[in-house]
Structures are given as structure tokens and as C-alpha cells.
Structure 1
Amino acid sequence: MRLTILGGGGFRVPLVYGALLGDHAEGRVTEVVLHDPDDRRLRAVSRVLAEQAEGVADAPAVSATTDLDEALRGARFVFSAIRVGGLQGRAEDERIALAAGVPGQETVGAGGIAYGLRTVPVAVDIARRVARLAPDAWVINFTNPAGLVTEAMARHLGDRVIGICDSPVGLGRRIARVLGADPKRAFVDYVGLNHLGWVRALRVAGRDELPRLLGDPALLGSFEEGRLFGADWLRSLGAIPNEYLHYYYFNRETVRAYQRAERTRGAFLRDQQARFYAEAADPGVSALRAWERTRAEREATYMAENRESAGAGEREEDDLSGGYEKVALALMRAIARDERATLILNVRNRSTLHVLDADAVVEVPCLVDAGGAHPLAADPLPGHATGLVCAVKDVERQVLSAAESGSRATAVKAFALHPLVDSVNLARRLVDEYAAAHPGLGYLK
């Protein structure tokens, strides 16, 4: 079975390949095709994968190409993990937002809108090529903003594109661990949009264990989200929010923390990965060990400013092990082998959340089988969560409309309607500054 990874020179590709190396069952991936426009990055990642495969007799064969159409032909699964504009683009997204006094983050608020505006046209082109060259392939979207990009691609691929994110998985795992439950046996009632969702229950053998957590201040303070949001606020909500909701609930504190930082997260990753790719090009250096060192630093510093502003301390060791590659492997297994699995995914809403239309992409538990991902029924969200979800979904729709029409006015509307952008004039300024920084936004007129 052939898997194509778009963004195949990306830093996290070895996580996916490492997961594939542990799969020895019939129907597994036997061929991996890496695609990236940057041949230097492809060579570096290929070296890492070659070292990972040493001693694994049935390791999937790896090839690399800069030709997108060649990469797509014959694929059974396509992972879309692209970054339009690279990490320099992310650094600019964050810098411009923070200079304007709004959160600078690649998926949340102004930075996420800017990233979406330049990513959607590229993602749509990929979706059209997949429909033409590999119509039977399943596309698994890793590309951020994951919900927005998945919805853009779904307009051309329907339910054959599924978005994934490791945040809900990590959150559910942490809650289960604190409660002494096996994460594999727990059902996580998680509902919302990508990077905008809440755990409302954690059921073990049919019993909801979340009230026990919410009622115990010591337990609440013993894991990352408890320290990040504070026990009082979590009890007020009656739910555990995704970590990215910290940008909404503690907006001012987060902006100040990021403004005080020596450099933004994007700038840190840009510089860090530049060192890795330079090191991995040296034939006398172990590319795998260089990658492992770089990854350990990357994971340990994830959302460091948010944790600093909340006094949440360092990340726990168990949270440094990744997760999205495990979701991707479980998703592929369920589809390719009809091994039923329940996974939290980004899919078209259908009738899951009645406040959104059927085509709106949401992030919810799904039953996955050979027919794809089927969202499970969900209870309505409370009013405060419904308001945020509807507001942010409308912003996503404005981004899609602006990307399709090239309308600058619609792009301004997307920024102005976002809950974290507090002025129409600021929205206009942000559009001007992002367009000046990113040639990929030249289509806005």
C-alpha cells in the first residue's frame, strides 16, 4: 500500500515513519513517497528515515520527488502536511499580530487567518489534483489551520479528506491518566472546532469520571490544563478546554507573555530547524540523532509562554511523546483493514452540531471503518461555547470566501469578525501588513 506525504521534507515526517515501522500486519503501508518542493529538505529527511529503518526487515520503501503529480499517482493514502511560506512565514504572522497587540499564533486569531489565506489556494489545488490523479485515495490533512484547510479540501473531495490533530488526543490521555483510567478504554466526549474544543465527559465502562476530577482541586492541579486554566475556572466551565482556548480565556496575559519573549515560536522553530537541516546535510553526522535532539527541545518548549503566563511550569515527560502520527496510523488501519476505531477527527458536521450546517468541518469523536469517518451524535454545546464556535466558524467561512474570490474586503471582514481582533481599523491594517509581508497574498484585490 502506497502512502504519499506532501510536505515530505517536513520536520515531523520521521514521527509518521517511526509509527509505520511498528506496523507489521497484513495490509500495512509498504511504500512511502515523500514530496516537497525543497530538495535539500527531502534529502535530510530521507537520511533520517534511512537510519530509522536500519535493522527493520520489512521497513516501508522510501522515495522522494519534487514533482507533485508524480507523487500523487497510485497513492492509496495522501498525508497533506504542507507549510505555505515556511517557518519564515509563520514568524511574520506572529510578529505582525503581536506588534498590533493581538495574539500571535499560527492557527488562532490574526496569525491563523493570515496563514489560512495563503494556504487555502494551495490546498484547493492539491485537492483538485488528488481528485484527478488519485480519485480513490484518502487524504489525511495535517496542514494547519487543520479545520479550515480540511473544509476547503472537502469542497472538492467530500468525505475522502479527514483532518487530524493531536491536541484532543493528548488532552484525553492526560485526563484519563490523572483519573487512573486506561486511555484506550476511555471515551472522550470532546466537541468543537480544531483548536477550539472542550472535553465534557470522560466515560469509563459507561460512567462519567469527569465530575470526580472537577470536584478535586488536587487532581485538577496535577496536570497541564489544570495548571494552565486554573481549578476555579475549570469548575466554572464544567469542562476541560483544549489548551488553545488559553488564547481566548487569558488573552491579555498571553499577549503580554509573547511580547516579552525573546522571539516568537515561529522564529524559534525557523532557527532551530535551520540548524537541523544544515547538520543533517553533513554525511559525517547521524541525521537521526540530530533530529532526536532537535525534537526533544521543540516539544519541551511547546506553548512555553502560555505556561509561563499561567505559572503552569514545565511539560510532563509523558506529554513529550507526540501523538498525531498514532492518530494517523489508527485512521489508516481502520479504513484500509476495516478495523473499527473511535477517533477524534476533523470531519464534515452533517447533523452533529445543530447550530452549524452539514458541510461545516467540526472536531468530534468519529467511528471509523472502511467507509471513512462517521461523526457520532453529540449533545448541544453550552451557550458560551456555541457563541465561540459559531463566531470562529463564520470567520473560517470568510477566509474561504476571500481565498476563492480574491476579495480584500472579505479578508478584512474575516479579521474584523474574529473574537480576538477588536477593531475594524485594526483588521484593515493587518490585511495591509500581511499582504506586504507575504507575496502569496498578492491575489487579494
Structure 2
Amino acid sequence: MEGLKIVVIGGGSSYTPELIDGFIKRKEELPVREIYLVDILEGERKLNIVGNLAMRMIEKANLSTKVILTLDRKQAIKDADFVITQFRVGGLFARARDENIPLRYNVLGQETTGAGGFAKALRTIPVIMDICKDIEELSPKAWLINFTNPAGLIAETILRYTNIKAIGLCNVPINMKNTTAKMFGVEPERIKMDFIGLNHLSWAKKIYLDGEDITKEVIEKNLDDESLNMNNIHNLNWDKDYLRGLNMLPSPYLRYYYMMDEMVEKQKQDVEGGKGTRAKQVMKIEDELFEIYSDQNLDIKPPQLEKRGGAYYSEAAVSLISAIYNDKKEVHTVNIKNNGSILNLDKDVVIECNAMVDKTGATPMVIGNMPPIISGLVNHAKAYELLTTEAGITGDYVKALEALSANPLIPSVTIAKKILDDILRENKKYLPQFSR
């Protein structure tokens, strides 16, 4: 049959209209026959709301693409061309636990980094492995595009423990590029950034405007400017001396590492002041979004979706799919195996970097050596990721303790053990691998 079969696992997500909008915008270059939106029974209500909005958007765009809503993941995956994963095991209530458990011990509570990201990874790994098993069996030629957080760690798991064709994706690099373009009043296509590091632990090593190196100017603009931050991260200004010496633009997530004490204090103030962690705020945003989505007259991606924190997601995901399908040989920032891109890092680990994308997948561009100012942190975080993938696969308590203790945001083994025990107890129903 002509046209692509696209499968979205976590189809009931509030992000889905963003994705549908991306396919509509690229209708001339991506002939999509079917979009399967897949969810679980607990997410059926949201799946129906989002799915019906997706159908209205497709109809308004006058496309013949069929949108199919289903709880049958295997049926959806069979003969798929692309599978997109954007799910959250345990929903926002699990995220709230991820953020609150570490704060009990004056440790950062965040959904993708530190102890919160660790908990999310442990819940996600068994599910992503089941999905990969289905793809291997029912659609071995399909590409898996993973947007599920922690994106780098999940990509590490997939590429280390399965044989499927997979690329990890995050909206932070494209967000940094687009907001930099906005600061300079130019089109994003004129900005080029050379990224180095890991997912949510990356730096723009060099930044160019029309081929001219503007790294220093971008850094100066970022010293007092809030526009390059993200909705889900407290805006604290970078230390001017440190940032100038670094001479690279850090991902907004590096605030958690460079300003850990201040970020923890901000989170505690939010909780004590009644504002709650980011999960509580997102619950409110999501309730509002699904009420908007339920309007039968709505047939476009609503502007309120930008508050959700997934800006430019569709641009990143759909343009990546198009680059593969159309053999574009264009540069994208993705999470793939290092393969010699960063010389002073193991070749077989997953990094976040610029890559040339065509029908064969993503080939990393050579970066060279990490400078000493970041190499220690990157290697430290990668050791944590490797241990976490092993713990998530095996359900080994000691390995999980080793992993959490190795996280750069955890102050001691003593604290790690307390947090780990709380995580395992409060997430028991989502951690079948540890029941052994």
C-alpha cells in the first residue's frame, strides 16, 4: 500500500496535536497513509479527546490520512514504517513522586535528571523493551523515534539491548537554536550550533550565523536574558565569569548541575508556598488543555500548548522522519551511538550530537575531544546512565544503588539508599523487574 504508516505510542498525550500539526505542515514531502494513536486503558479518555481533535485537524487540512485510535499496540505496530514513543509510565502522579521523593532529603527533584530521572527510567525500561520486542517481531524494518524521557538514557537502553533501528530525540537543541535566532532577529535556518555532550547535559560548542562564529555574542546575550530558558526550569542567571570562561552555551538543564543548591532551594520554596513541583503545575495546564481539545469546533493546534514545555517537538520529530524517508542528508541533533564522534568518550555509548541523516539513519559528525571543563561531568553522568540501564533491565537492587550513587546530583551513598528504597516502595506496581 502506498503511503506511510506512522504509530504514536502514548497517543493520548497532550503533545499529540503538536505532532499532527507537524505532519500537516510537511504534507507535500511525507505521504502519510495512516496515523495510529496508541494508548493504554487508563489513558482511553484522553486518547479519544486528542484523537478526535487530530481527526478534525486532518480534515481541515483536506488530507486523506486516516487517524486510528487503539489500545491494541501489537495491531498498531504491525507493518509500521515509523514508531514514535512519547509515553509516561504512571502518568503525572508518578512524576509528582519523582519530584517530591528527593526533596525529602534536600536533593533535587526533577523528572529527567537526578533521582527523579532515575525513577522514571526504571519505570520506562521494561515498557520500552516490550515495545522493541513487538517491533522486532512485527515490523523489523521500522524506525523507532524515541521522545520518551529521559531520552538519552532510554536511547542508551534501546541501542545497547535491542537490534532495532532507533534514534533518540529531544526538543532542547532545536529550542536553543530557535530562541537564539529570535534573539538575533533572524530565521532559524541561518543559525548553526555544534552540540557536544549527552541528552539534557549538552553544550553548543560553536554557534554560527550565516557561517560567522557568534559564540561570544550569544554568551553575552545569555548572561542576563531569560529567553533561552525553558518553561519547566527555574530561571537563574548564569555566573558571568564561569560562562565567559566556558565559552560554550549550556543547555538550560545544566542549571541543575551548575546551580544545584539554588535550584533545590527554589523547588522547596515552591512546595512550601503551595505552588507545588512542576508536576502539579503541569496537571493544571493539562486539565486546561484537554478542556480546550474537547471543543468540537477546534481544528488547529491551540497556542496554549506552548505552555506545556514541548515547544518545537513536532518540528524536531517530523523533520527527522522526513529526512530519513526522503534521504535528505541533512543535519539533525539526535541521540545515537558515539562511534568516534567524541574522541575522549567510549565509542559504543549514546551521546547527543549533530548527525547527518539520510535513509540509512543518523551518522554522527566528528566533534573531537571534550575540553577538560566538561569531560569529567560527561563521563560521570554516562557512568550513571550505563549502570541505570543495567539496573532497569535486571532489576538488581545493588546495581540500582550503584547507579543512583553514581549520579552527579546525589550527594552520598547514604542518601542514595534512602531515596532508592522510597522509589522502589512507592513505584512497586510499575517495577516488575524488581519483584524478582
The verdict on a shared fold, with TM-score over 0.5 as the criterion, is yes
SS at match of 1:95: helix
How far is 1:352 from its partner? 0.9
Bigger drift between 42-51 and 154-163 goes to 154-163
C-alpha separation between the residues in 2 aligned to 1:268 and 1:235?
34
Aligned to 1:34: 37
Match for 2:13 among 10, 15, 32? 10
| Structure 2 unaligned residues grouped into runs of 5+ | 230-235
Number of aligned pairs?
Answer: 419
SS at match of 1:266: helix
Contact 1:159 1:347 in 2 (8 A): no
Contact 1:36 1:42 in 2 (8 A): yes
C-alpha separation between the residues in 2 aligned to 1:2 and 1:123?
20
C-alpha separation between the residues in 2 aligned to 1:291 and 1:201?
34
SS at match of 1:34: strand
Match for 1:398 among 387, 390, 394? 387
Aligned to 2:151: 146
C-alpha separation between the residues in 2 aligned to 1:142 and 1:377?
24
SS at match of 1:443: helix
C-alpha separation between the residues in 1 aligned to 2:65 and 2:293?
21
SS at match of 1:224: coil
- Indicate yes or no: 2:366 matched with 1:357: no
The 1:246/1:56 distance shift into structure 2, 3 A limit, reads same
- Indicate yes or no: 2:265 matched with 1:256: yes
- Indicate yes or no: 2:401 matched with 1:440: no
| Structure 1 unaligned residues grouped into runs of 5+ | 300-320
Residues 320-374 of structure 1 deviation map (CA, whole Å, 9 limit, x = unaligned): x821211111111111111221111011111111232222110000110111111
Match for 2:205 among 187, 200, 204? 200
Bigger drift between 346-355 and 1-10 goes to 346-355
How far is 1:157 from its partner? 4.6
- Indicate yes or no: 2:313 matched with 1:324: yes
Aligned to 1:309: none
The 1:421/1:19 distance shift into structure 2, 3 A limit, reads same
The 1:156/1:400 distance shift into structure 2, 3 A limit, reads closer
How far is 1:163 from its partner? 0.7
Runs of 4+ in structure 1 over 6 Å off: none
C-alpha separation between the residues in 2 aligned to 1:208 and 1:218?
14
Q: Residue type of the partner of 1:267?
A: K
Contact 2:129 2:158 in 1 (8 A): yes
Contact 2:200 2:251 in 1 (8 A): yes
Contact 2:39 2:47 in 1 (8 A): yes
Bigger drift between 105-114 and 148-157 goes to 148-157
TM-score w.r.t. structure 2 length? 0.90
- Indicate yes or no: 2:303 matched with 1:298: no
Q: Residue type of the partner of 1:369?
A: D
- What value does the CA root-mean-square deviation take over the aligned residues? 2.2
SS at match of 1:229: coil
Residues 377-401 of structure 1 deviation map (CA, whole Å, 9 limit, x = unaligned): 0031111311111111111111111
SS at match of 1:332: helix
SS at match of 1:359: coil
Aligned to 2:65: 60
- Indicate yes or no: 2:106 matched with 1:101: yes
C-alpha separation between the residues in 2 aligned to 1:422 and 1:87?
26
Contact 1:178 1:222 in 2 (8 A): no
Aligned to 1:167: 172
Aligned to 1:344: 333
C-alpha separation between the residues in 2 aligned to 1:60 and 1:228?
46
SS at match of 2:12: coil
SS at match of 1:124: helix
Match for 1:135 among 123, 140, 148? 140
Percent sequence identity over aligned pairs: 32
Superposed counterparts of 1:230-241, under 5 Å:
230-241=239-250
SS at match of 2:342: coil
Bigger drift between 155-164 and 238-247 goes to 155-164
Q: Residue type of the partner of 2:17?
A: P
Match for 1:408 among 397, 402, 409? 397
Aligned to 2:194: 189
Contact 2:18 2:301 in 1 (8 A): no
- Indicate yes or no: 2:74 matched with 1:85: no
Q: Residue type of the partner of 1:8?
A: G
C-alpha separation between the residues in 1 aligned to 2:288 and 2:178?
32
Superposed counterparts of 1:419-438, under 5 Å:
419-438=408-427
Contact 2:330 2:357 in 1 (8 A): yes
C-alpha separation between the residues in 2 aligned to 1:293 and 1:19?
14
Bigger drift between 26-35 and 223-232 goes to 223-232
Contact 1:355 1:390 in 2 (8 A): no
The 1:9/1:327 distance shift into structure 2, 3 A limit, reads same
Aligned to 2:254: 245
Contact 1:44 1:287 in 2 (8 A): no
TM-score w.r.t. structure 1 length? 0.88
Bigger drift between 54-63 and 372-381 goes to 54-63
The 1:294/1:287 distance shift into structure 2, 3 A limit, reads farther
Contact 2:336 2:364 in 1 (8 A): yes
C-alpha separation between the residues in 1 aligned to 2:80 and 2:346?
31
Contact 1:334 1:341 in 2 (8 A): yes
C-alpha separation between the residues in 2 aligned to 1:271 and 1:182?
33
How far is 1:16 from its partner? 0.4
Aligned to 2:232: none
Q: Residue type of the partner of 1:443?
A: Q
How far is 1:241 from its partner? 0.2
